[in-house]
Structure 1
Amino acid sequence: MSGSLTGAALLRDATANRGTAFSEAERDALGLRGLLPPAVETPERQVARVIDNLKRQASDLDRYCWLMALRERSELLFQRALLDHLAELLPLVYTPTVGQACQQFGRIFQAPRGLYVTARDRGRVRELLRRWPAGPVRAIVVTDGSRILGLGDLGANGMGIPIGKLDLYSACGGIAPGSCLPVMLDVGTDNATLRDDPFYLGLRQPRLQDDDYDALLEEFVSAVQECFPGVLLQFEDFSNRHAFALLARYRERLCCFNDDIQGTGAMGLAAVNSALRITGGKLTGQRLLFVGAGEAALGIATMVKAAMVAQGLSLEQARERCWLLDTQGLLVAGRPGLPAHKQPHAQPRAPLADLEQAISVLQPTVLIGASGMGQLFSQPVLHALARHCERPVVFALSNPTAKAECSAQQAYEWTEGRAIFAAGSPFAPVELAGRTLVPGQANNAYIFPGVGLGLLASGATRVSDAMFFAAAAALAAQVKDADLASGRIFPGQDRLREVALAVAVAVATTAWRDGLATQPRPDDPELAILASMYRPGYPACAA
């Protein structure tokens, strides 16, 4: 466990320090006697102290900072607390609190974590990657900070996102933290407020553009392949300008995916299918209106249309059932200046510029917000939706909470309790007309940890669309009748590790079936993958 470390050096090593959980025998053998209080505590008692301290903090951002400091003292205790209290701590280490943490990143900075590759490092990116001391690296989450959640360009402050994502890879997906590498590609920022902030820790220059940007990305990806062969690379929170192009450029070259596009797509498809278990309708009979036409909306729309085609519709019929509305109105064919990544979703019809008008004309059964515009689903909008749809499905996916298109309370009240609601941020249950309605949290944490685990378990060389279809089906199958009875279309977050295992088995099985795996298929994939999942260095934790 501790290798050659003893005494105070062992207690200062966050990856090996168990603090007061070291036994009497270990204290003698490792030179720890006298360096710790005399009490020998169970991991459960240590975790209870963590939770007690968190409750004493004044705000969620303070709780986030406290947890980050804990990890610098003991990765083991941090991971054990996260695993034991997943539903409670997930909103702190990731959405919605991580958005506020990114906004304040320079002010709350305590200790470096991860790797920073900057615009000034052209020609020596391999050297930087080889300096990484931990390993072997199996999973990398990388961002350039250009589109952090719904907050826009946060530059180097966006490092909080890869850190948080990889925390969930470990807690949910069972990928050891020592195998995870968060990377910030600091190519500058066009956020002038950040560049003028005295506490900003990134490059104070405009973003790299065009050929210079592409060259740095190419050098980074090539260095990753050379330094960490077989690694999983996840692109995270890149702007629309680069996200689609990077995915297209690299998806056939190494094992990589974009969680904002593909992970969100699988999560959204699973959510729609779960909602249909309540309404009783068929996917091919739905009309979907997406408000926002960025990575999340396009990712879900692409997955839904492909699923409709698989269920018997032609591609044209599927397209006619999925509409997208951005800040300039409905995506229609012939609209001047329509970006290439939006063009496949544009349809021939007269323009519609107003959301309420689009609802009245298109009469959607599913309304999906991925706009980054808080309170966009106003009372008139939801009234218009409820007028033509008995059980409207409403997803307010934008993060953090302030960016949500509406709250759970609003969605339920303004549809007389008939809406099936989920949001990107957590909302409390709502009491309405003697009923308790439990909103789901449409979080990619239900997808990407299991996808990553399945890819690594199978040694996948590429990430295929079929894997995300398998992931969506596995997630939907984890939603229980009791969840649906309360209106919730996702499993409880206390089951995220269980969900990740199911998703991993589905993804790995697809890799083995389609010839994309380099690891042999075990006789019992579920048992083998479960056995491979990381658990903090304490007595075994249940999956």
Structure 2
Amino acid sequence: MYQQQSLRNLFLRTNGLIRIRPKVRVTDNYTLSLVYTPGVGHICKVIQGDPDQLYDLTITNNSIALLADGSKFNLAKPQKMIPNLEAISALYKAFYDVDAYPIVLNRNIMHNVSDYLLVIDNLSPTYKTIVLIDIENNLACQILQAVEKTKLDCSVIITNSENLREQLYDAALIKATLDCRSILKPSQLEVVRKAITSIDFKGLPNNLTNILISAYAQGLREIHKNKWYHHTIRNVEPDHFVKKLNDLYIYGDIAQYNKWSDGHLLQKNDFYQNALELHRRYNGMITIELKFSPRSLEDLFKIYESSYKKDELGQLRQMLIDDPNKLREITFQKNYAAIITNGTAILGLGNIGPAAGSPVMEGKSVLFNALGGIDLMPICLKEKDPQKLVKIIRCIAPIFSAINLEDLRAPDCFPIEEEAVHNLHIPLMHDDQHGTAVVSLAAVINYIKLTKKNIKDLKLVINGAGAAGVAICKLLHGHGIQDIIICDTTGIIYEGRPQNMNEFKNELASFTNQNKIKGVLKDAVKGRDLFVGVSTAGSLTKEMIKSMNKNPFILALANPVPEIMPDDAIEAGAFIIATGRSDFNNQVNNSLAFPGIFRGAIDTRAREINLEMKIAAAYAIANSIKDSDLCPTRILPGALTADIPANVARAVAIAAMQTGVAKINIDPDKVFDQARKLIMEGNMPSL
């Protein structure tokens, strides 16, 4: 019975208290295209045009970042704060339905208050309320003083995780601030907090929900009285918000369904409108979920009250100090990862900024969970400078078991990834580079099976020297293709080319185009077996394909319009054509790769994702189609093929162990079984 339960036992029994859950179950390609590309691109453009739409279309409206650095307890390794973070996140979710995403700060490289402000400011595109817990008193005062004097795009609250009533007061403050979309200074927050603390919490848990609502209402009234609410709030009356919270206590999650009318049901005849409606309907694509189900809020209050009196969070911290390996056993950390962008290369939209890029990160989080069983926190940072960006990533990295870098512009993405991998020693990958490269290699493997060509004899041309082009070049070269020519907007890259070169293109020139062929794309494609385009629509012509070797393979990956349309490519003599689009055969879809790669890397606690792991992933994808079933229109499986992520995870785990980057050895079949269970038994509502 839950009256006899405790936080300590819940941690031990459920591997932590929280997880991240998609709000929509991805069961078909249509839903996939609404949640991720191409539908999510429309959401990005809407937010880019009207930044206030961020509140209606993403998790920003109900989400906070919850930060801890261990300074109050003088912890050498702040990861020991994870039980406190999870306990507070679960409390905020259970009592006020606030999604609090935990982050552990690396105090070893945060030397002064300005470093804390740097992190806080950079988290603000997505998280408009930042809560720091258990910060050492002097440091906390300095941070609040600095925040008071600094113009930030978020509210900052500092709280004590081991005082239950203070936490409930702060939860009411956070809920009121979020619902009013308020960005308040510490002095203003203190005014609202003072109003909230006028509600007497001494009688709890008796009459609990009424008291919680009263505290929340007091906060709303104070914000309303001072007109501190956001200009997009149409109904500013506190009673309006109180009714919504009361409905939530009574009806639970289904309370939100009341706002759906028959006129807003999804219809498949208006794709982009459906994508917009889906994101608006759910206020973003992910949410925090408790791993346990208390019988009532009163029971949960008693669990917290008893556990706080016994200092069970302190006991858990000590347990982790005594045996650091228990961190992955008793907390959610072993399955918690981050997706990080700075919005400089969002899909095909370019540098639209971190806020407008938020929907992509949420969509990717859904896919990581649906196809890899991984809890992924979306983080959209402001920083553009590569060195500062790496520092911020290092500052927030300690809690994460892996990090996926996303939509970083080239050439900045190369040193960012390299430096982050060097410093963090966890699975970290820039998916725009390596996910595309892995799936492209899988397609080439099956092309070789069909044509019986020798990989060492293949001649490859790549059009595009950005993030994906560079990674594809390196991976295919690393797997045996020696004769490669790569083109950029200036033309063919060769060693010694005087214009439009940088250190990364110079590196490519050192092992490609050994004959120093000069010219443009039409010169480069002559006599080639493979064309890979990660460039622009219409850049490959029929005449160019006709100049290639017999049975050429065309990977035209520009989105949404490829370098050449499939019908035109086939008419010109292409043996196989693959694109990045789901409405054509042979879609090169990163989701075939990244869920399984990260699943296998996380399960083996790999220090990095190396070349061998990527090649293993490519073979797992390629071999998912039986040789007898291969044909020019089917060289790649569908993105939602059930067993692919688990097969990729197993292959990646084997490669990680064989190459010595795995920190633990694990039965590969166990990796497969665990991955399949996480994927197949996900508890997600159906669209």
- Say whether 1:324 aligns with 2:486: yes
Q: 1:447 to 1:216 in 2, by over 3 A?
A: closer
How far off is 1:521 after superposition? 1.1
Distance 2:602 2:567 in 1: 40
| Equivalent residue for 2:365, pick from 157, 166, 177 | 166
Superposition deviation, residue 306 in structure 1: 1.0
Name the structure 1 match of 2:91.
none
Deviation of 1:258 (Å): 1.1
**In the alignment, what sits opposite 2:320?**
none
Counterpart of 1:353 in structure 2 is 519
Residue matched to 2:261 = none
How far the C-alpha of 1:89 sits from its partner, in A, is 2.2
Contact 1:407 1:427 in 2 (8 A): no
Task: Give the match's secondary structure for 1:219.
Answer: helix
* Cα shift at 1:112: 3.7
Is this contact kept in 2: 1:483–1:491, CA < 8 A? Answer: no
Displacement of 1:77: 6.2
Residues 457-496 of structure 1 aligned to structure 2 (within 5 Å):
457-481=603-627, 483-485=629-631, 487-495=633-641
The residue identity in structure 2 corresponding to 1:215 is: K
Cα distance in structure 2, aligned partners of 1:381 and 1:171: 40
User: SS at 2:503's partner residue?
Assistant: coil
2:430 alignment partner in structure 1: 258
Counterpart in the other structure of 1:407:
565
Q: Any unmatched runs of 5+ in structure 2?
A: 4-19, 66-113, 124-128, 134-286, 290-331
CA shift, 1:324, in A, is: 0.1
Match of 1:312 in 2: none
User: Would the aligned equivalents of 1:289 and 1:324 in 2 still touch at CA under 8 Å?
Assistant: yes
- Rg larger for: 2
Cα distance, 1:405 vs. partner?
A: 0.7
State the secondary structure of the residue aligned to 1:422: strand
CA distances 1:4-25 after superposition (whole Å, capped 9, x unpaired): xxxxxxxxxxxxxxxxxxxxxx
TM-score normalised by length of structure 1: 0.68
Q: Distance in 2 between matches of 1:457 and 1:333?
A: 41
- Partner SS for 1:341: helix
SS at match of 1:154: coil
- Find the aligned partners of 1:352 and 1:523 in 2 and give their Cα distance: 47
Among residues 592, 597, 611, which one is paired with 1:451 in the alignment?
597
Percentage of identical aligned residues: 25
> 2:119 touches 2:395 (CA, 8 Å); kept in 1?
no
1:457 and 1:529 in contact (8 A); partners too: no
Residue 334 (structure 1) aligned with residue 496 (structure 2)? yes
Amino acid of the residue matched to residue 376 of structure 1? S
Q: Which residue of 2 aligns with 1:247?
A: 417
Quickly say closer, same or farther: Cα 1:523–1:475, change in 2 above 3 A. Answer: closer
Distance 2:394 2:683 in 1: 33
Going from structure 1 to structure 2, the CA distance change for 1:506 and 1:120 (only over 3 Å counts) comes to: same
CA deviations over 1:291-341 (Å, ceiling 9, x no partner): 111111111111111111xxxxxxxxx54x011011111111111241111
Shift of 1:504: 0.4
Q: Say if 1:407 and 1:121 are closer, same or farther in 2 by CA, change over 3 A.
A: farther
Q: Name the residue aligned to 1:155.
A: 353
Any idea what SS the aligned residue of 1:427 has? Answer: coil
Taking the aligned partners of 2:678 and 2:349, their CA distance within structure 1 comes to 36
Within a 5 Å distance, the mapping from 1:190-205 to structure 2 comes to: none
Q: Which has the higher contact order (CA 8 A, sep 6+)?
A: 2
CA distance in 2, matches of 1:145, 1:530: 32
**C-alpha separation between the residues in 1 aligned to 2:350 and 2:115?**
20
Q: How does 1:21-40 map to 2 (within 5 A)?
A: none
Match among 302, 327, 339 for residue 141 of structure 1? 339
Distance 1:243 1:350, change over 3 A: same
- Relative to 1, partners in 2 of residues 1:515 and 1:95: Cα closer, same or farther, differing over 3 Å? same
5 Å matches for 1:10-29? none
1:290 aligns with one of 462, 465, 471: 462
CA-based RMSD: 3.2
Deviation sequence 1:420-446 (CA, Å, 0-9, x none): 010011234xxxxxxxxxx20001111
The 5 Å alignment of 1:225-244 reads 225=398, 228=399, 230-244=400-414
Shift, 1:492, TM fit: 2.5
> Per-residue CA shift, 1:355-383, capped at 9, x if unaligned?
222223xx110011011x11111232223
- How much has 1:482 moved relative to structure 2? 5.7
Q: Kindly tell me: are residues 75 and 265 of structure 1, through their superposed partners in 2, closer, same or farther at Cα, counting changes over 3 Å?
A: closer
Aligned amino acid, residue 217 of structure 1: V
CA deviation vs aligned residue, 1:222-269 (integer Å, no higher than 9, x gap): 2222xx1x5210111101131100111121332211112222221111
Sort the Cα spacing of 1:129 and 1:259 in 2 relative to 1 into closer, same or farther, 3 A: farther
**In structure 1, distance between residues paired with 2:655 and 2:467:** 24
Deviation of the 1:76 alpha carbon: 6.4
Give unpaired runs (5+ residues) of structure 1: 4-73, 188-207, 309-317, 429-438
Cα deviation, 1:473-532, whole Å, max 9, x if unaligned, reads 11111123465235221012341x311110001111222333433445147322243334
Equivalent pair of 2:411/2:504 in contact (CA under 8 Å): no
CA distance in 1, matches of 2:433, 2:119: 30
Letter in 2 for 1:365: D
The answer to whether the 8 Å contact 1:398/1:424 transfers is yes
| Cα contact 1:333–1:349 (8 A) shared by 2 | no
In the other structure, the counterpart of 1:367 is: 531
Aligned residue for 2:395? 222
Q: Distance in 1 between matches of 2:387 and 2:597?
A: 27
Aligned residue pair count: 405
The 1:152/1:485 distance shift into structure 2, 3 A limit, reads same
